[in-house]
Each structure stands twice: as C-alpha cells, then as structure tokens.
C-alpha cells in the first residue's frame, strides 16, 4: 500500500519524467554560423565584392585607419567615404576597423605635422584621458558616415614590438587607455552600437597579453591574429628536398604544438574568451609565404583545421577575417583578385578554402 509520502514521490517522479521528455523533444539551440570578412587593401570595396563573388557568399570588410597623425585618425574621408557607401548599399554589411592608438614614428616622438605636431605620445598619457578628444571626434565621424555599428580593433597586436602602442612593460597603461577610448566613444550619441575588440597577436611575444586586458565592461570581443608560421624546432622552414610526407608532418606539428596548443596559442585564447564570457573572433588569419621561409606555404591542412575550429559552436567564433593580400612582410592571398588574374602561391589551399568556406556552387 502506498503511503501519502510514497504517493507524493511517485507523482514527483512522473512529473520529472514528463519534464525531461519535453526537454528532449525540444529542437537543439540554433547556432549562427560565424560571419566571414576579408581584408583586400585600403578603401577598396570593389576588391571586397570581387572576393565575395569568388567565395560565393556575402562578407564583411576590414580596413586600417592611418597612423601618421592625429588628424588622419578621424578625417580619413578617402577611406570612410567609400565604406560608408558600401555598407549602406546592402543590408547585413559591416565594417571592421583597425584603430591606431599613438600616431607618428615608432619611437613615440609624435606626429610630424597636424594637431600636436612634434609632441611625444605615450600610453600613459592616453590612460589619463589626454587623447579622448581624438576618439570622440572619431566616433562623431563614424556616426556621420552611417558607420555607427562598426567593430573597432583598438591598438591591435599590442603584445608585439612593432607598433607605437606596444604594451610591454606598460600593460596597465594600455588597459587604462583602452578603457578611456571605449567609454569616450560610447558616450557619443548614435555610437551606442559600436563594438570594441581586444586583439593580441598569436604566441607569447613580448609579454603575456592577458596582463593588458582592460576589463569585461569595455571589451565586446576577444580577438586573435593568427598566421601559419613558426620558429619552433622541426617545423618551418622545410628541409631542402623535403618530401610531401615530410612537409605535411611539419605542418601538422606546427598546428598541434605551436598554433593550436602552443604557448598562448589558439586554444589558450579561446579558453580566455570563454572565461570572460566574450565571443571569440579572428580579425586576421591566413597562410604564410615569408622571405625567411618560416611560413607553412601551400597548406590545405591548415585550412582544414581552421575551418573545423571556426565552425565548431563550442568555440563561439563570432567572425573571422581572412587577410587576402600579398603583404610586404608576407604573402597570404588566396583569391585571384579584382580582375581574376593575380598570382596565387597557394593553389591547393585556395581550392580547399573555397570548398570548405564557400557556397555549394563553388565547392563543385
């Protein structure tokens, strides 16, 4: 005979079974595929459209604001004008802009002309709010150009030593300056939809980049710039007369031990983004042909691994931008360019990229 207590437990158990069954019957949560973007040189919407046609999908665009002087930061009409027209021409388009934090030469002696010419610049001054007026002006300019939903990469690759805003030994100043900029720009009417990406470069480099994290309140995306390159032993360069098998073995070793699971590699930064509950992104990534031969060259394996990572919902990748140019410091280009006749150094990888990331019509 069931006691009142046993009866209650039976009813509760049955209710739990019904509830669990209803959960199982629900369709899985949908996952929005990461947005594709591309960098195809400064102020070149036509190049971006050609790339979009090549891949068979709509893409966002990426560009870089000038670094020579403060004035160039917020009066680049030659750059923002074409992008304003491009973004407004079709729904769903968006611009990603790389924003320099300190203008002028590498020694931080300041811009040579324009506003505050010859006046030294520093992260410390930025952290005190001394440059807020420049970023307020930039926010107004973006709103005026109908680019109020732009994603801004403030002081990208700050953990390397190649930009004026390099943060080695100045981690707190960089973080403070980043926060000053975000709060200043967000306060401008119409700029509420601006998003801010905190964006180190791959590997450990000058210092542990997480030491310059400005805080969850001023970061919208955690980003990472990543290329198929390595200086670790038995990776790149390839030995002379290496067989295809030997080359592939080194490419796999580079992915596993350097790019993905290396010191401050892709896995580290994915976990960092998860810890801070931020979407992850790859504002620059690509294959690499370097003069010093430390690039992985034509590497379809790298493309396959990047595709698997980017498309895995567990990694929460919001967007990724292929750096589709032959840059002065290395070649990365996959597409044939505006007229379809530009030289490609990675034919196997280009085919694999188009197969995996492109539309069905391009994968045939």
**Confidence class for position 362, pLDDT limits 50, 70, 90:** low
Q: Is 236 exposed, middle or buried (0-12, 13-18, 19+ CB in 10 A)?
A: buried
Identify whether 164 is part of a domain. yes
Helix (H, G, I), strand (E, B) or coil at 92: coil
Identify whether 16 is part of a domain.
no
Residue 10 lies in a domain: no
Establish if 136 belongs to a structural domain: yes
Q: Using a pLDDT cut of 90, give the percent of the chain over it.
A: 86
CB of 301 within 8 A of CB of 251? yes
Domain presence at residue 92: yes
Q: What is the pLDDT of residues 86-141, one digit of tens each?
A: 999 999 999 999 999 999 999 999 999 999 999 999 999 999 999 999 999 999 99
CATH of the domain at 238: 3.20.20.80
Structure tokens at 260: 């993905």
Listed residue (254, 250, 229, 281) closest to 98, CA to CA: 281
Say which residue the tokens 């197969």 belong to.
355
pLDDT of residue 31: 66
Euclidean distance between CA atoms 247 and 237, whole angstroms: 9
In the chain, the number of structural domains is 1
Determine contact, residues 119/105, Cβ cutoff 8 Å.
no
Decide: 349 and 303 in contact? Cβ < 8 Å.
yes
What is the number of other CB atoms lying within 10 angstroms of the CB of residue 178?
Answer: 27
Residue 104's domain comprises 32-362
Rounded to an integer, what distance in angstroms lies between the CA atom of residue 91 and that of residue 351? Answer: 29
Residue-level pLDDT at 360: 56
The per-residue pLDDT for 3 is: 38
Residues in the chain: 364
Residue 90 DSSP SS3: coil
Judge whether 23 lies within some domain: no
Chain centre distance of CA 361: 27
Q: Let me know if residue 350 belongs to a domain.
A: yes
Average pLDDT along the chain: 91
**8 domain residue, yes or no:** no
User: pLDDT at position 133, please?
Assistant: 97
The model scores a pTM over 0.85: yes
* pLDDT surpasses 50 at 6: no
- Residues 272-299 have pLDDT tens digits of 999 999 999 999 999 999 999 999 999 9
Do residues 190 and 143 touch, judged by C-beta distance below 8 A? yes
- 114 burial type by CB count under 10 A (0-12 exposed, 13-18 middle, 19+ buried): middle
């Amino acid at each position: 005979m069931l006691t009142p207590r046993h009866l209650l437990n039976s009813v509760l158990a049955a209710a739990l079974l019904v509830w669990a069954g209803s959960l199982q019957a629900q369709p899985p949560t949908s996952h929005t595929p990461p947005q594709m973007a591309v960098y195809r040189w400064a102020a070149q919407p036509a190049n971006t459209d050609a790339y979009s046609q090549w891949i068979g999908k709509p893409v966002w665009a990426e560009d870089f604001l000038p670094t020579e002087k403060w004035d160039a930061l917020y009066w680049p009409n030659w750059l923002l004008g074409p992008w304003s027209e491009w973004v407004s021409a079709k729904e769903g388009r968006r611009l990603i802009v790389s924003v320099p934090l300190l203008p002028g030469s590498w020694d931080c002696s300041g811009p040579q002309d324009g506003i505050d010419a010859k006046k030294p610049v520093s992260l410390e001054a930025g952290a005190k709010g001394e440059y807020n007026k420049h970023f307020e002006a930039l926010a107004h300019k973006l709103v005026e150009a109908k680019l109020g939903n732009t994603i801004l990469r403030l002081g990208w690759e700050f953990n390397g030593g190649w930009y004026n805003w390099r943060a080695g030994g100045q981690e707190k100043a960089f973080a403070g300056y980043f926060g000053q900029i975000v709060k200043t720009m967000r306060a401008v009417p119409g700029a509420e939809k601006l998003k801010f990406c905190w964006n180190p470069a791959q590997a450990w480099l000058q210092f542990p980049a997480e030491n310059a994290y400005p805080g969850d309140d001023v970061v919208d995306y955690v980003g990472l710039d990543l290329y198929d390159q390595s200086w670790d032993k038995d990776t790149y360069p390839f030995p002379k007369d290496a067989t295809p098998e030997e080359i592939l073995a080194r490419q796999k070793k580079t992915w596993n031990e350097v790019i993905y699971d290396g010191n401050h590699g892709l896995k580290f930064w994915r976990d960092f983004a998860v810890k801070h509950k931020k979407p992850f992104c790859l504002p620059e990534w690509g294959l690499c042909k370097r003069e010093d031969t430390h690039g992985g060259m034509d590497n379809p394996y790298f493309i396959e691994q990047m595709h698997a990572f980017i498309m895995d919902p567990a990694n929460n990748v919001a967007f990724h931008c292929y750096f589709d140019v032959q840059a002065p410091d290395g070649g990365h280009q996959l597409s044939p360019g505006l007229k379809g006749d530009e030289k490609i150094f990675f034919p196997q990888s280009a085919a694999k990229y188009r197969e995996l990331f492109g539309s069905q019509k391009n994968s045939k």
